[in-house]
Amino acid sequence: MNYIVVGCGRVGAELAYSLFLKGHKVSVIDHVASAFNNLHHDFRGRMVEGEALNLDILQRAGIESTDGLAAVTNSDPLNAVVGHIARTEFNVSRVVVRNYDPRWRGLHETFNLQVVSSSSWGAQRIEETLDHPEMYTVYSAGNGEVEIYRFVIPKQWDNRTLGELLPKQNCTPVSLTRTGVAIIPDCDTVLKADDVAVVSATNEGIQALHQHMYEEN
């Protein structure tokens, strides 16, 4: 497939190289020629120097036949406008934009763009690791509003039910593994110490679960 990456900083260079390694044809746009030095020396894609807001530059990068575009510069307005142009002017179906400063996220949402907020997401992952090292994220949806968490059932919850453990809101069971065999549990499932539980939860839900499981017992 053909992809365009706008912005050749560390994120853009890593993304472009990863797509290239998967066999895709990749064009990278940046207005600073030296930015292409961030690319891995094995990268064999197209490098287009120029302003991404210039339609000629986008066309040189192959936007008329591209399957997807990622705008990942450190300028939120630029990412939003380039993403909007790709969708509305060139009918690119797959458009993802980077939100660099969380205060600008509303701009991307105004254009109804698929957003990856790297700063917010990274800060949340670090907070979780510091605050709840015994629970860790195995999948994150959107920008972390809903996540899949994995944790081990502690001894104090042996022979109690899953319904007793989980908070009533913002937390849903996904699976329970015991001696290597996984099931889809329900609220009546009896827990055993060292079972491995996986739940889907919001940040509020996982905070409530952690408090109930470790701090109230």
* Percent of the chain surpassing pLDDT 90: 71
* CATH code of the domain occupying 128-215: 3.30.70.1450
CATH 3.40.50.720 region(s) of the chain?
Answer: 2-119
Assess contact for 97 and 86: CB atoms under 8 A.
Answer: no
Region at 91 (left for phi over 0; alpha for psi -120 to 50; beta for the rest): left
CATH architecture, domain defined by 2-119:
3-Layer(aba) Sandwich (3.40)
Of residues 122 and 168, more confidently modeled: 168
Q: pLDDT tens digit string along 95-135? A: 999 988 888 878 877 888 888 887 776 776 677 667 666 78
Q: How confident is the model at residue 216 (pLDDT cuts 50, 70, 90)?
A: low
Q: What does the DSSP assignment read for 128-184?
A: HHHH-TTSEEEEEETTTTEEEEEEEPPGGGTT-BHHHHS-SSSEEEEEEEETTEEE-
Q: pLDDT tens digit string along 4-38? A: 999 999 999 999 999 999 999 999 999 999 999 99
Q: Tell me, what's the pLDDT at 125? A: 65
